[in-house]
Structures are given as structure tokens and as C-alpha cells.
Amino acid sequence: MLSQKQAEEAIVATTNSFNETEHEGGGGGGGGGVNGGTTREGEEREQDHSMFSVKSFLWHGGSVWDAWFSCASNQVAQVLLTLPYSFSQLGMLSGILFQIFYGIVGSWTAYLISVLYVEYRTRKEKENVSFKNHVIQWFEVLDGLLGPYWKAAGLAFNCTFLLFGSVIQLIACASNIYYINDKLDKRTWTYIFGACCATTVFIPSFHNYRIWSFLGLGMTTYTAWYLAIAALIHGQAENVTHSGPAKLVLYFTGATNILYTFGGHAVTVEIMHAMWKPQKFKYIYLLATLYVFTLTLPSAAAVYWAFGDQLLNHSNAFSLLPKNRFRDAAVILMLIHQFITFGFACTPLYFVWEKVIGMHDTRSICLRALARLPVVIPIWFLAIIFPFFGPINSAVGALLVSFTVYIIPSLAHMLTYRKASARQNAAEKPPFFMPSWTAMYVFNAFIVVWIFVVGFGFGGWASMTNFVRQIDTFGLFAKCYQCKPPLPPPHPAAVAPPPLHRHH
């Protein structure tokens, strides 16, 4: 095992590397270090040391807590602001039930992804494959376990999902800042935030998101409780109605937005790879989801209770709450968090692009940042073409998240362990709460069928119908989607009364 000093020098020399485990020798990511006591002790010493180093504290994160913060922070961002809109489409009871259901299913498929990652890495390390300076990604796991066709499917769905996930963050930034400063229209704000978010090209990997994940979750927590408390203080709006669910199209659009909410684990493999002990990831996503429930359920329920059907025309919850310093603070914190989430969604795209152009093992951060810039430009452009905040969440959920996050991991797990020999030599056995491989197979099959029929089928039909309706109503390149009526028109009306007085 390399000494502590050598390990740190190696990390500094290869800033772009996730993988401290290689520098420590034992390969804590699913290979030789899975059951090795010495390796685990060494890594625990590494973690203890990192707690006392300021640079490590802020920059190099690979602990279980880092992974938990990354998962929880990445799971809820601008979606918090659209969940009340989903509740107005679904009704209160369906909204709560769908959140709990998709939260559990999402945690299960994240668990499957972690199992497949460990399986892939274990097999590769037995073949003496080194992952030094290389970040393992989901499509590579699929390629190693199931072959090139699965790699192509994983790559296509994952990249498209992350691309639109980044687009949504940009749209959300412009939508939110507009509620503080409406002197500029949302499209102009999108230009400005596109330039700001482009700076994420300088963050080498998920290893370097430690402080950002921590801050991001704090910001989301404040925003969620602000929404809940502000709605309760405001009380129910005059003549409030709660007619949801009223239309099938709206019902499945809302359900698909919730499917999207708990499908934030397109970056699970990258987060795992950043850990010193990826085997410990197994239940982290579930624990993150349980915390997220404490944010999403109270805030969505309270805002829907207060404003009811008004939310059908206000996909961003901020637009209905009174303007005051608490709302402005929530908007600003949400903006910072959306910048962080943009980085989360974009970083795997940066890795893929680096691998395509042969820059992935380049040590210079500036060179890599330059190479990554072409990834940001199409994201920027798409955010300006389709500025539809709530509807685009549902469309992405139905057409991309359903496969990327739910169907592909479930099918991949079923096919990887279809043979008795694969089950016998599995790096990870079925969890304690699942009695057998057969039970896992049945549950995975249920997820595939449910998500395909309800999420992709009904959800795809509903969200695309809604999405096309937005284009018909607002047009592409909408200058200010769902903005308040511009201020100039009221002025003539305000000036109009004097002639009436003369008449009297």
C-alpha cells in the first residue's frame, strides 16, 4: 500500500481522477478490497485524515456522507417548485401516493445500478484492468456485462436525459430570477445564466463536489420549508378550488413529473466511483430519498392546499407566493443550487465527450475545460428554444427517465443474473429483505411492465400532448413563458379616467 504522503501527491498530480482507491493500492471499488480488512482499515485512516485537512474537507470527498449529500442534493432541485403543479393535476391523495411509490421504486433501481457496478468492477479487476485516471460510467457497465447493444442504449438514453436535465436547470434559473428582477425577460436571463453555468467545465469530477453537495442540500431544505410555511401563513386563496384530478392528460402528466423527481440517479455510477468504498453505496439512495420525502411532501401539499387549481397555470410555485425577503432568499438559494445541479447533470456528459475526443486522461484542468465547452452550447440553445418549465420535466420523465433510470437497470439486472453460474458467483447477493433471486426477478419484471405502460405509455402520451399545447400557445423561443402581463399596458388605463371627470 502506498504511504499517505504518496497518496496525496498522486491525487494532486491527477486532479481529474475520482479514484483515490487506486492510489491507495487496494482498489476499494469492488475488486480486491471488497473483503480485505487491511484495505478497509487503510481507507478508514484515509477518511479520518481527510477530516483534518482543509483542502480535503472542501475538495476531495469520497465518504458515505459525501455520497448521501450528493444523492439527496441531486435528487431535488427545481422539481421542488413544480411538485405543487403536479399535485394540482393529480389531486392531493394521488400526489402523495405517487411520491411514495416512485420514491421506493427509484431507490430500488438505484440499488440495482450499484450492484451491477460492483459486479462489473469485480470482474474487471480480476482481469487486472486498472481504472486509474478513468471514471467508470453506466454505459461502460452495461457494455462489460451485456455487450455493445446495451452500451449503445445506455449511452443514448443517459446522455439525452442528462442533456435535457441540464436544459431544465437553465430554464429554471431564468424562471426563478425573474421573480426577483422582472426588468429583463426570461430569455435574456437564460443567456446570462448559460454563461454562468458554463463555468462548471472547471470542476474535474464528482470527487470535487463535497462542499457543493452539502450547501446544495441546505439550500433545498430552506426552500422546501419556506414553501410549506409561506403557503400555510398565506392561507387558502379566495374561492380556492381543488378539482384535480380533472383530465386524464393532466393526471398522467403530473404522475410523470413525480416519476422524474425520483429518477435523479442517472449519475449514480459516477457518484459511486467517487467513493472510497463503493460497496457502502447500497442503501444510501434509499436514505437520501427518505430525507427528500421530508422536503417534497409538506411543501407540495401545503402549496396545493393554499392555491389549488391556480397552480394549473403556474408551474413554478414561486409565482403565487407573496414577494418578500424570505421568498427572495429562497429564489437566490435555489439559483445557486441549480448551478450546482447543472454541474451534476453535465459532468457525466463532459466525461463522455472527453472519452470521444481522447481527452479523458489529460491532467491539465484548463485543457479539459476548453475541451468540454462544446457540450454547454447545445444545452444553452435548447433552453432558449423550449422555455417550458413544468411540461418539459414531464416529457423528459416519460420519454427518457422511464428507460434510463427504471427499465434499463431492471432488465440489465435480470439478464446479468439469468444463469445459475452468474448468481452463484455474484459479487452482491440478494438483500436481506428480498428472500430469493426469484423474488428479485418478479419485482424487477413488475417495475419494467409498470413503468413501460404507465410511465412511458400513458405518461409519454400525456406529457407530449401537454408539451405540444405549450408550443401552440407560447411558440418556440418564447420570450417570457408564463410571465405576468407586461407593465406598460395598464398605464393607458390608469391615464384614462381624467376625460371621464371632465365629462362629469
Cα angle value 326/329/331 (rounded, 5°): 110
- The domain spans of the chain are 61-474
* CA–CA separation, 9 and 4 (whole Å): 9
Q: Name the grid cell of 373.
A: 465547452
Local confidence band at 8 (pLDDT 50, 70, 90 cut-offs) = very low
Average pLDDT over residues 177-204: 79
When the pLDDT of each residue in the chain is averaged and rounded to a whole number, the result is: 79
Residue 112 in grid coordinates = 440495482
pLDDT at position 183 is 76
pLDDT tens, 116-165? Answer: 999 999 999 888 888 777 888 899 999 999 999 999 999 999 888 888 88
H helices of 358-436, in order, are: 365-385, 389-396, 408-416, 420-424
- pLDDT above 60: residue 34: no
User: How many CB atoms are closer than 10 A to CB 240?
Assistant: 14
Q: What end-to-end distance do the CA atoms of the chain give, in Å?
A: 96
At the second CATH level, the architecture of 61-474 is Up-down Bundle (1.20)
Q: Cis peptide before 492, with omega less than 30 degrees from 0? A: no
DSSP one-letter code for 276: S
Grid-cell match 441546505, residue found: 218
When pLDDT is cut at 50, 70 and 90, the band that residue 484 belongs to is low
Does pLDDT of 196 surpass 70? yes
Angle at 33 between CA 27 and CA 37, to 5 degrees: 140
pLDDT of residue 483: 63
Instruction: Check: CB of residue 346 under 8 Å from CB of residue 162.
Output: yes
Do residues 443 and 434 touch, judged by C-beta distance below 8 A? yes
Rounded distance between C-alpha atoms, residue 36 and residue 362, angstroms: 32
Contact criterion met (CB below 8 Å) for 86 and 302: no
Radius of gyration, CA atoms only, the chain = 24
Q: Is the pTM of this model over 0.85?
A: no
